[in-house]
Amino acid sequence: MASPTIALVTAAPNPAVSGQSVTLTATVIPVGAGTPTGTVTFVVSGGPTLTGTLSGGTTSVVASGLSVGTHIVTATYDGDANFTPSTGTTAVVVIQASTTTSVTSAPDPSTLGQSVTFTATVTPVAPATGVPTGSVTFVISGSGGGTFTQPVSGGMATLTLSTLGGGTHTVVAIYSGDTNFLSSTGTDTHTVTPGPAATTTTLTSSVNPSAFGQPMTFTATVTPNTPATGVPTGTVTFVISGSGGGSFTQPLSGGTATFITSGLGTGSHTVTANYSGDTNFAASSSATLTQAVDLAVSRISISSNPNPAPEGTEIDLVAFVEAVPPGDGTPTGTVTFTATGAAIIETDVPVDAFGFAFLTLGLAEGDWSVGAVYSGDANFGASGVAEYTQVVTGAQATATT
Protein backbone atom coordinates (compact mmCIF):
# COMPACT_ATOMS: atom_id res chain seq x y z
CA MET A 1 0.00 0.00 0.00
CA ALA A 2 1.36 3.50 -0.97
CA SER A 3 2.54 5.72 1.87
CA PRO A 4 1.24 9.24 2.22
CA THR A 5 3.52 12.28 1.63
CA ILE A 6 3.77 15.91 2.57
CA ALA A 7 4.91 18.48 -0.03
CA LEU A 8 6.73 21.57 1.16
CA VAL A 9 7.56 24.44 -1.26
CA THR A 10 9.88 27.39 -0.76
CA ALA A 11 10.99 30.35 -2.92
CA ALA A 12 14.28 32.23 -2.91
CA PRO A 13 14.85 35.08 -2.95
CA ASN A 14 11.59 36.13 -1.41
CA PRO A 15 10.79 38.91 -1.79
CA ALA A 16 12.40 39.32 -5.21
CA VAL A 17 12.80 42.49 -7.23
CA SER A 18 11.39 43.08 -10.67
CA GLY A 19 13.29 41.15 -13.29
CA GLN A 20 14.98 38.87 -10.75
CA SER A 21 14.69 35.10 -11.21
CA VAL A 22 13.18 33.09 -8.34
CA THR A 23 14.15 29.52 -7.49
CA LEU A 24 11.20 27.37 -6.42
CA THR A 25 12.05 24.24 -4.39
CA ALA A 26 9.69 21.41 -3.53
CA THR A 27 10.55 18.80 -0.87
CA VAL A 28 8.36 15.71 -0.69
CA ILE A 29 8.47 14.15 2.79
CA PRO A 30 7.23 10.55 3.21
CA VAL A 31 5.15 9.53 6.18
CA GLY A 32 7.14 6.42 6.70
CA ALA A 33 10.26 4.88 5.24
CA GLY A 34 11.67 5.42 1.74
CA THR A 35 12.32 8.23 -0.67
CA PRO A 36 9.64 9.53 -3.04
CA THR A 37 10.44 9.69 -6.74
CA GLY A 38 8.62 11.13 -9.76
CA THR A 39 7.81 14.71 -10.70
CA VAL A 40 6.47 17.88 -9.14
CA THR A 41 4.39 20.44 -11.08
CA PHE A 42 4.77 24.09 -10.02
CA VAL A 43 1.89 26.40 -10.94
CA VAL A 44 2.68 30.11 -10.43
CA SER A 45 -0.29 32.47 -10.46
CA GLY A 46 0.26 35.17 -13.02
CA GLY A 47 3.35 33.27 -14.13
CA PRO A 48 4.55 30.02 -15.70
CA THR A 49 3.79 26.36 -15.03
CA LEU A 50 7.01 24.39 -14.49
CA THR A 51 7.87 20.73 -13.89
CA GLY A 52 10.76 19.34 -11.87
CA THR A 53 11.99 15.76 -11.29
CA LEU A 54 12.62 14.62 -7.74
CA SER A 55 16.09 13.66 -6.71
CA GLY A 56 16.52 12.57 -3.12
CA GLY A 57 13.01 13.80 -2.52
CA THR A 58 13.76 17.32 -3.71
CA THR A 59 13.46 19.27 -6.95
CA SER A 60 13.99 22.92 -7.95
CA VAL A 61 12.88 25.06 -10.91
CA VAL A 62 13.55 28.69 -11.84
CA ALA A 63 10.72 31.13 -12.49
CA SER A 64 11.62 34.36 -14.34
CA GLY A 65 9.75 37.37 -15.65
CA LEU A 66 7.39 37.61 -12.69
CA SER A 67 5.50 40.88 -12.49
CA VAL A 68 5.42 43.08 -9.43
CA GLY A 69 2.93 41.77 -6.87
CA THR A 70 2.15 38.59 -4.96
CA HIS A 71 2.22 35.24 -6.76
CA ILE A 72 0.79 32.03 -5.23
CA VAL A 73 2.93 28.99 -6.01
CA THR A 74 1.26 25.57 -5.88
CA ALA A 75 3.61 22.57 -6.02
CA THR A 76 1.85 19.28 -6.75
CA TYR A 77 3.67 15.98 -6.29
CA ASP A 78 2.32 13.44 -8.77
CA GLY A 79 3.12 10.41 -6.58
CA ASP A 80 4.76 7.09 -7.58
CA ALA A 81 4.27 3.37 -6.96
CA ASN A 82 5.14 3.74 -3.29
CA PHE A 83 3.97 7.20 -2.35
CA THR A 84 0.74 9.08 -2.72
CA PRO A 85 0.42 12.57 -4.32
CA SER A 86 0.55 15.71 -2.18
CA THR A 87 0.42 19.46 -2.59
CA GLY A 88 2.22 22.42 -1.00
CA THR A 89 1.86 26.15 -1.45
CA THR A 90 3.77 29.31 -0.81
CA ALA A 91 3.65 32.95 -1.90
CA VAL A 92 6.32 34.86 -3.81
CA VAL A 93 6.39 38.61 -3.47
CA VAL A 94 7.96 40.65 -6.31
CA ILE A 95 8.66 44.28 -5.49
CA GLN A 96 9.66 47.28 -7.60
CA ALA A 97 13.36 47.39 -8.31
CA SER A 98 15.59 50.30 -7.35
CA THR A 99 17.11 52.39 -10.13
CA THR A 100 19.93 54.85 -10.61
CA THR A 101 19.62 57.87 -12.87
CA SER A 102 22.58 59.65 -14.40
CA VAL A 103 22.48 62.80 -16.55
CA THR A 104 25.00 64.22 -19.00
CA SER A 105 25.06 67.13 -21.48
CA ALA A 106 26.81 67.61 -24.79
CA PRO A 107 28.58 69.69 -25.76
CA ASP A 108 29.81 70.86 -22.39
CA PRO A 109 30.81 73.63 -22.19
CA SER A 110 28.65 75.23 -24.87
CA THR A 111 28.48 78.72 -26.30
CA LEU A 112 25.57 81.14 -26.17
CA GLY A 113 22.76 80.07 -28.51
CA GLN A 114 24.31 76.65 -29.13
CA SER A 115 22.02 73.60 -29.00
CA VAL A 116 22.75 71.40 -25.98
CA THR A 117 21.39 67.85 -25.56
CA PHE A 118 20.78 66.56 -22.04
CA THR A 119 20.60 62.77 -21.69
CA ALA A 120 19.25 60.93 -18.64
CA THR A 121 20.01 57.20 -18.40
CA VAL A 122 17.92 55.06 -16.02
CA THR A 123 19.52 51.77 -14.93
CA PRO A 124 18.03 49.00 -12.74
CA VAL A 125 20.06 48.21 -9.60
CA ALA A 126 21.30 44.59 -9.63
CA PRO A 127 20.03 41.97 -9.28
CA ALA A 128 17.07 43.61 -11.00
CA THR A 129 16.95 43.49 -14.78
CA GLY A 130 14.75 44.98 -17.48
CA VAL A 131 14.26 48.31 -19.19
CA PRO A 132 12.62 51.11 -17.20
CA THR A 133 9.83 53.11 -18.82
CA GLY A 134 7.95 56.23 -17.74
CA SER A 135 9.35 59.75 -17.92
CA VAL A 136 12.19 61.95 -16.73
CA THR A 137 11.73 65.54 -15.58
CA PHE A 138 14.74 67.75 -16.27
CA VAL A 139 15.05 70.72 -13.91
CA ILE A 140 17.64 73.20 -15.20
CA SER A 141 18.59 76.29 -13.23
CA GLY A 142 19.51 79.72 -14.51
CA SER A 143 18.65 81.87 -17.48
CA GLY A 144 16.96 79.94 -20.27
CA GLY A 145 16.39 76.89 -18.06
CA GLY A 146 13.17 75.54 -16.57
CA THR A 147 11.32 72.28 -16.00
CA PHE A 148 10.90 69.88 -18.92
CA THR A 149 9.37 66.38 -18.89
CA GLN A 150 10.47 63.88 -21.53
CA PRO A 151 9.50 60.22 -22.14
CA VAL A 152 11.87 57.35 -21.38
CA SER A 153 12.64 55.15 -24.37
CA GLY A 154 15.10 52.28 -24.15
CA GLY A 155 15.97 53.40 -20.64
CA MET A 156 16.93 56.92 -21.79
CA ALA A 157 15.33 60.36 -22.02
CA THR A 158 16.75 63.34 -23.92
CA LEU A 159 16.14 67.09 -23.99
CA THR A 160 17.64 69.63 -26.42
CA LEU A 161 17.79 73.36 -25.60
CA SER A 162 19.44 76.38 -27.24
CA THR A 163 18.10 78.99 -24.81
CA LEU A 164 20.58 78.76 -21.94
CA GLY A 165 22.26 81.96 -20.82
CA GLY A 166 25.91 82.27 -19.90
CA GLY A 167 27.25 80.72 -16.71
CA THR A 168 26.90 77.45 -14.80
CA HIS A 169 23.56 75.63 -14.72
CA THR A 170 22.57 72.90 -12.28
CA VAL A 171 20.79 70.02 -14.02
CA VAL A 172 18.56 67.59 -12.07
CA ALA A 173 17.00 64.57 -13.81
CA ILE A 174 14.10 63.03 -11.87
CA TYR A 175 12.93 59.60 -13.05
CA SER A 176 9.22 59.07 -12.36
CA GLY A 177 9.32 55.29 -11.86
CA ASP A 178 6.88 52.81 -13.38
CA THR A 179 5.10 49.60 -12.44
CA ASN A 180 8.34 47.67 -12.08
CA PHE A 181 10.91 50.30 -11.16
CA LEU A 182 11.25 52.85 -8.37
CA SER A 183 11.99 56.52 -9.03
CA SER A 184 15.49 57.96 -8.75
CA THR A 185 17.35 61.22 -9.30
CA GLY A 186 20.59 62.24 -10.99
CA THR A 187 22.41 65.59 -11.05
CA ASP A 188 25.00 67.31 -13.19
CA THR A 189 26.21 70.80 -14.07
CA HIS A 190 26.43 72.43 -17.47
CA THR A 191 28.49 75.49 -18.39
CA VAL A 192 27.63 78.02 -21.07
CA THR A 193 30.76 79.97 -21.92
CA PRO A 194 30.15 83.58 -20.91
CA GLY A 195 30.58 86.34 -23.43
CA PRO A 196 28.93 86.93 -26.78
CA ALA A 197 29.20 84.47 -29.64
CA ALA A 198 31.14 85.52 -32.74
CA THR A 199 29.16 86.73 -35.76
CA THR A 200 29.63 87.30 -39.47
CA THR A 201 28.18 90.32 -41.27
CA THR A 202 27.60 90.20 -45.01
CA LEU A 203 26.66 93.18 -47.20
CA THR A 204 24.88 93.30 -50.56
CA SER A 205 23.53 95.99 -52.89
CA SER A 206 20.26 95.68 -54.75
CA VAL A 207 21.72 97.21 -57.94
CA ASN A 208 25.38 97.65 -58.82
CA PRO A 209 26.25 99.61 -60.86
CA SER A 210 23.38 102.02 -60.50
CA ALA A 211 22.44 105.20 -62.35
CA PHE A 212 22.57 108.61 -60.70
CA GLY A 213 19.35 109.20 -58.76
CA GLN A 214 18.36 105.52 -58.89
CA PRO A 215 17.22 104.13 -55.49
CA MET A 216 19.38 101.31 -54.18
CA THR A 217 19.05 99.13 -51.09
CA PHE A 218 22.04 98.05 -49.04
CA THR A 219 21.29 94.92 -46.99
CA ALA A 220 23.41 93.70 -44.07
CA THR A 221 22.81 90.17 -42.77
CA VAL A 222 24.28 89.18 -39.40
CA THR A 223 24.61 85.45 -38.62
CA PRO A 224 26.10 83.66 -35.57
CA ASN A 225 29.23 81.66 -36.25
CA THR A 226 28.90 77.88 -35.86
CA PRO A 227 28.16 76.27 -33.46
CA ALA A 228 26.24 79.21 -32.00
CA THR A 229 22.63 79.70 -33.05
CA GLY A 230 20.00 82.36 -32.52
CA VAL A 231 19.07 85.72 -34.05
CA PRO A 232 21.32 88.73 -33.35
CA THR A 233 19.70 92.02 -32.41
CA GLY A 234 21.03 95.59 -32.18
CA THR A 235 21.97 97.93 -35.01
CA VAL A 236 24.07 98.10 -38.17
CA THR A 237 25.88 101.28 -39.26
CA PHE A 238 26.34 101.65 -43.01
CA VAL A 239 29.42 103.75 -43.82
CA ILE A 240 29.44 105.08 -47.40
CA SER A 241 32.23 107.16 -48.91
CA GLY A 242 31.98 109.94 -51.46
CA SER A 243 29.33 112.43 -52.49
CA GLY A 244 25.97 111.71 -50.86
CA GLY A 245 27.54 109.17 -48.47
CA GLY A 246 27.99 109.23 -44.71
CA SER A 247 27.18 107.02 -41.72
CA PHE A 248 23.65 105.66 -41.42
CA THR A 249 22.52 103.49 -38.50
CA GLN A 250 19.62 101.11 -38.98
CA PRO A 251 17.99 98.56 -36.61
CA LEU A 252 18.34 94.81 -37.06
CA SER A 253 15.14 92.84 -37.58
CA GLY A 254 15.33 89.09 -37.94
CA GLY A 255 19.09 89.39 -38.28
CA THR A 256 18.84 91.82 -41.23
CA ALA A 257 19.21 95.61 -41.56
CA THR A 258 18.60 97.68 -44.70
CA PHE A 259 19.43 101.22 -45.86
CA ILE A 260 17.82 102.77 -48.94
CA THR A 261 19.33 105.79 -50.71
CA SER A 262 19.11 107.55 -54.07
CA GLY A 263 21.47 110.39 -53.16
CA LEU A 264 24.88 109.03 -54.08
CA GLY A 265 26.90 111.06 -56.59
CA THR A 266 28.43 109.53 -59.67
CA GLY A 267 31.65 107.59 -59.28
CA SER A 268 32.89 104.80 -57.04
CA HIS A 269 31.80 104.52 -53.39
CA THR A 270 33.13 102.15 -50.72
CA VAL A 271 30.45 100.73 -48.41
CA THR A 272 30.88 98.78 -45.15
CA ALA A 273 28.31 97.50 -42.65
CA ASN A 274 29.33 97.52 -38.97
CA TYR A 275 27.22 95.39 -36.59
CA SER A 276 27.06 96.82 -33.05
CA GLY A 277 26.72 93.50 -31.19
CA ASP A 278 24.33 92.74 -28.30
CA THR A 279 24.31 90.77 -25.03
CA ASN A 280 24.66 87.41 -26.75
CA PHE A 281 26.46 88.24 -30.00
CA ALA A 282 29.75 90.00 -30.71
CA ALA A 283 30.18 92.94 -33.08
CA SER A 284 31.46 92.32 -36.61
CA SER A 285 32.06 94.22 -39.84
CA SER A 286 31.39 93.24 -43.42
CA ALA A 287 33.91 93.11 -46.20
CA THR A 288 34.07 96.38 -48.16
CA LEU A 289 31.63 96.63 -51.06
CA THR A 290 32.34 98.96 -53.99
CA GLN A 291 29.23 100.67 -55.30
CA ALA A 292 29.49 102.23 -58.77
CA VAL A 293 27.13 105.08 -59.69
CA ASP A 294 27.07 105.82 -63.40
CA LEU A 295 25.89 108.95 -65.25
CA ALA A 296 22.13 108.95 -65.65
CA VAL A 297 20.81 108.97 -69.19
CA SER A 298 19.13 112.23 -70.17
CA ARG A 299 16.70 113.15 -72.91
CA ILE A 300 15.69 116.52 -74.33
CA SER A 301 12.53 117.75 -76.05
CA ILE A 302 11.91 121.04 -77.85
CA SER A 303 8.91 123.18 -78.72
CA SER A 304 8.20 126.72 -79.86
CA ASN A 305 5.46 129.30 -79.70
CA PRO A 306 3.99 130.49 -81.97
CA ASN A 307 4.54 128.13 -84.87
CA PRO A 308 4.00 129.21 -87.58
CA ALA A 309 4.92 132.80 -86.69
CA PRO A 310 4.67 135.95 -88.82
CA GLU A 311 8.01 137.51 -89.64
CA GLY A 312 8.94 140.06 -87.04
CA THR A 313 7.15 138.19 -84.25
CA GLU A 314 9.18 137.05 -81.25
CA ILE A 315 9.35 133.28 -81.08
CA ASP A 316 9.86 131.48 -77.78
CA LEU A 317 11.94 128.29 -78.06
CA VAL A 318 11.68 125.93 -75.09
CA ALA A 319 13.89 122.87 -74.39
CA PHE A 320 13.15 120.49 -71.53
CA VAL A 321 15.87 118.18 -70.17
CA GLU A 322 14.94 115.22 -67.93
CA ALA A 323 16.38 112.00 -66.54
CA VAL A 324 15.56 108.67 -68.15
CA PRO A 325 14.47 106.07 -65.56
CA PRO A 326 15.85 104.43 -63.52
CA GLY A 327 17.95 107.60 -63.22
CA ASP A 328 16.37 110.51 -61.39
CA GLY A 329 16.98 114.15 -60.55
CA THR A 330 17.18 117.44 -62.46
CA PRO A 331 19.99 117.93 -64.97
CA THR A 332 22.06 121.12 -64.92
CA GLY A 333 24.39 122.65 -67.53
CA THR A 334 23.48 124.25 -70.85
CA VAL A 335 21.41 123.67 -73.95
CA THR A 336 22.76 124.77 -77.32
CA PHE A 337 19.99 125.99 -79.66
CA THR A 338 20.76 126.00 -83.40
CA ALA A 339 18.42 127.61 -85.92
CA THR A 340 19.31 127.09 -89.57
CA GLY A 341 17.44 128.90 -92.28
CA ALA A 342 18.09 132.27 -93.91
CA ALA A 343 21.08 132.32 -91.57
CA ILE A 344 22.65 130.08 -88.90
CA ILE A 345 21.99 131.08 -85.33
CA GLU A 346 23.66 129.21 -82.45
CA THR A 347 23.12 130.16 -78.80
CA ASP A 348 23.98 128.50 -75.44
CA VAL A 349 21.30 128.82 -72.76
CA PRO A 350 21.60 127.59 -69.15
CA VAL A 351 19.15 125.01 -67.84
CA ASP A 352 17.07 126.32 -64.94
CA ALA A 353 16.28 124.53 -61.65
CA PHE A 354 13.35 122.75 -63.28
CA GLY A 355 15.21 121.43 -66.33
CA PHE A 356 14.00 124.10 -68.81
CA ALA A 357 16.02 126.30 -71.16
CA PHE A 358 14.31 129.30 -72.86
CA LEU A 359 15.39 131.29 -75.92
CA THR A 360 13.47 134.11 -77.63
CA LEU A 361 14.28 134.84 -81.29
CA GLY A 362 13.02 136.93 -84.14
CA LEU A 363 13.47 135.04 -87.43
CA ALA A 364 13.19 136.03 -91.08
CA GLU A 365 10.59 134.52 -93.36
CA GLY A 366 11.16 130.89 -94.25
CA ASP A 367 11.37 127.39 -92.84
CA TRP A 368 13.95 127.11 -90.07
CA SER A 369 15.49 123.89 -88.83
CA VAL A 370 15.81 124.20 -85.08
CA GLY A 371 17.87 121.79 -82.94
CA ALA A 372 18.71 121.59 -79.23
CA VAL A 373 21.67 119.72 -77.70
CA TYR A 374 22.11 119.21 -73.94
CA SER A 375 25.73 119.46 -72.79
CA GLY A 376 25.52 117.05 -69.85
CA ASP A 377 26.92 117.63 -66.34
CA ALA A 378 28.62 115.71 -63.54
CA ASN A 379 25.61 113.43 -63.10
CA PHE A 380 23.86 113.32 -66.46
CA GLY A 381 25.09 112.36 -69.90
CA ALA A 382 24.66 114.67 -72.89
CA SER A 383 21.68 114.28 -75.19
CA GLY A 384 20.29 115.84 -78.37
CA VAL A 385 17.00 116.11 -80.20
CA ALA A 386 15.99 115.63 -83.83
CA GLU A 387 15.53 118.81 -85.83
CA TYR A 388 12.40 120.77 -85.26
CA THR A 389 10.88 122.90 -88.02
CA GLN A 390 9.88 126.47 -87.25
CA VAL A 391 7.83 128.15 -89.95
CA VAL A 392 8.04 131.95 -90.36
CA THR A 393 5.52 133.50 -92.75
CA GLY A 394 5.58 136.89 -94.43
CA ALA A 395 4.89 139.93 -92.30
CA GLN A 396 1.24 140.62 -91.69
CA ALA A 397 -0.10 143.52 -93.80
CA THR A 398 -1.11 146.64 -91.87
CA ALA A 399 -4.74 147.57 -92.41
CA THR A 400 -5.40 151.11 -93.96
CA THR A 401 -8.52 153.22 -93.94
What digits encode the pLDDT tens for the residues 116-155? 999 999 999 999 999 999 999 999 999 999 999 999 999 9
Residue at 1: amino acid letter:
M
**How much is the pLDDT for 342?**
87
What is the reported pLDDT for 400? 45
Nearest to 238 by CA among 264, 212, 213, 214: 264
Least confident of 90-99, 297-306, 317-326, 391-400: 391-400
Q: What is the mean pLDDT of residues 256-284?
A: 96
Name the H helices within 63-119.
none
Residue 198 has φ and ψ, to the nearest 5°, of -65, 150
Q: How far is CA 117 from the centre of its chain?
A: 17
Strand order in the sheet with 314-323: 298-305, 314-323, 356-362
pLDDT above 60 for 399: no
| pLDDT over 50 at 183, yes or no | yes
Would you tell me how many other CB atoms lie within 10 Å of the CB of residue 253? Answer: 10
Q: Which amino acid is at 262?
A: S
Residue 396 pLDDT level (bands cut at 50, 70, 90)? low
Contacts of 1 (CB under 8 A, 6+ apart): none
In 3D space, the residue among 148, 159, 85 whose CA is nearest the CA of residue 117 turns out to be 159
Q: Is 60 helix (H, G, I), strand (E, B) or coil?
A: strand
> Burial, 316: exposed, middle or buried (Cβ in 10 Å; 0-12, 13-18, 19+)?
middle
Say if residues 196 and 275 touch (Cβ distance below 8 Å): no
Domains belonging to the chain, first-starting first, are 5-95 (2.60.40.10), 99-192 (2.60.40.10), 199-294 (2.60.40.1930), 298-393 (2.60.40.1930)
Q: Is the pTM of this model over 0.95?
A: no
